[in-house]
Amino acid sequence: MKVTVIGTGYVGLVTGVCLAHSGHDVTCVDVDRAKIATLSAGTSTIYEPGLEELLAEGIASGRLRFATPDVGWKDLISDITFVAVGTPMASNGAADLTAVRTVVSALAEAADRPFTLVMKSTVPPGTGGTLASRFLASSEANIGYVSNPEFLREGHAIDDWYHTDRIVLGAENTAALDIMRELYASIDAPVVATDVASAETIKYASNAFLSTKISFINEIANLCDYVGADIDAVANGVGLDTRIGSQFLKAGIGYGGSCFPKDTRALDFIATMNGYQFTLLKSVIEVNNRQRLQPVVRLARAFPDLHERTIAILGLSFKPNTDDVRESPALDIIPLLAEEGARILVYDPRAAEADIPGALRVDSVWTALAGASAAIVVTEWREFIDLDWVHAKEVMTDPAIVFDGRNCLDANAVRASGMSYMAVGRDGAHREA
Ligand code: UDX
């Protein structure tokens, strides 16, 4: 089938590449000329395992091409046209739908024949109805609107595309649903066919629940530090209950990324705007905002002379196997340590360039650790999990401390090196001595 994907960010690019790999004829569109040129040359603009191989395959097969809107929207509209542009968080927590409205308006104006508009961008419940009445209803063409939210995890996106737990389709007419069922026929997953608002709500409810699970286990971990319990044993015992499940029960310094922080705030905003106080969600957000500050609080307590110390930040991306630094805990931790006057060195094996005032980005973990009084593991990169902590102790300054922000290290191995080990719910931090 002929497909257009508008927006070549993490979602749009994965959507285009995977649909081309499934045999569809795909045109990916972006206003960013440099990005389109890079992609057309077969170079991925994001780090995602397996993406560049599928990009090269798509281009070589002639099933995948890239364009800017300069050629005119009318010529870019396909029978199935995905909108996958960004919906960043506005300052008040709302989802900024400027890009979505701009594209949908342009498509509605340019369309001179029927097509199916598929909303892949994450948009708050109620958005589809508003877009249809405001833009599509007045179009000359008969445009079918489908909400088709994505559930891709960065670092696992290709696998998540083909092995999704469900395909969610929200539409007010069955013709659009049928077209989408045909498009996704090669993917073995249950299809949840519903109305647009319910499909939009499934996306937000899913991310909000996963965020809730994380903030919940983080609060349990914080409690473990007071009662002397071990969060790994607790999470294991809890997660074996099949009604709960073991995934997303990994305690640490909280969630980051371009989705959970944005989507929880947007859902809270939408609830409030509709007159509902989503109390539980507000607590999930508050817990997460606080959780990432733990390393700063505990190191400031350990080092009254923090302003004379060097601190190594190990990990800048919001999680491993991605170069994405959006909402990474490091971006909050670094300024707070800088305010205390500490010298801060940052190392990450893959993270994209980021503005980190008060810190120096270095290209080796050993450069970051040399002379450091403490190391904070912000991202659980394999390189840090497997690090030789005996050697790390030798190059760091006594009393060398490791704050394991992702509870990913072998605590006994770190302690055996002679270093002090701090973590989240693993070291009885607040247990009365
Ligand atoms: C998430 C959702 O998983 C995905 O379905 C949705 O489409 C987009 O948002 P992503 O943000 O890429 O995907 O990453 P994910 O692997 O879900 O992790 C999100 C954050 O939660 C990361 O900061 C991670 O460190 C944190 N996390 C995850 C935990 O702190 N504990 C866990 O147990 C799992």
Q: Would you say domain 291-431 falls under CATH 3.40.50.720?
A: yes
Q: Would you say residue 145 has pLDDT above 90?
A: yes
Q: Is 259 one of the catalytic residues?
A: yes
Domain residue extents for the chain = 2-193, 203-290, 291-431
- Measured in Å, residue 382 CA sits from the centre of ligand 1 at 17
**107 close to 79: Cβ distance less than 8 angstroms:** no
For ligand 1, pick from 15, 46, 122, 154 the residue to mutate: most ligand atoms within 8 Å of CB. Answer: 154
How far apart CA 82 and CA 84 sit, in angstroms, is 6
How far apart CA 158 and CA 46 sit, in angstroms, is 13
Mean pLDDT of 235-260: 98
At 428 the pLDDT is 73
CATH of domain 2-193: 3.40.50.720
How far apart CA 165 and CA 160 sit, in angstroms, is 8
- Host H or E run for residue 160: helix 157-162
Is 211 close to ligand 1, i.e. is its CB under 6 Å away? no
At 350 the pLDDT is 95
pTM of the model: 0.95
For ligand 1, pick from 46, 207, 246, 255 the residue to mutate: most ligand atoms within 8 Å of CB. Answer: 255
How far apart CA 394 and CA 303 sit, in angstroms, is 19
Query: What pairs with residue 191 in β-bridges?
Result: 167
- 347-359: pLDDT as tens digits: 999 999 998 999 9
Task: Tell me the pLDDT band of 255, cut-offs 50, 70 and 90.
Answer: very high
- CATH topology assigned to domain 203-290: N-(1-d-carboxylethyl)-l-norvaline Dehydrogenase; domain 2 (1.10.1040)
Residue with tokens 């909050």: 332
Same fold, 2-193 and 203-290: no
Catalytic option among 18, 28, 259, 408? 259
Task: Tell me the pLDDT band of 114, cut-offs 50, 70 and 90.
Answer: very high
Atom of ligand 1 nearest to the CA of 151: 7
- 33-81: pLDDT as tens digits: 999 999 999 999 999 999 999 999 999 999 999 999 998 999 999 999 9
- Measured in Å, residue 395 CA sits from the centre of ligand 1 at 33
- Measured in Å, residue 153 CA sits from the centre of ligand 1 at 7
Question: Any idea what DSSP says for residue 135?
Answer: I
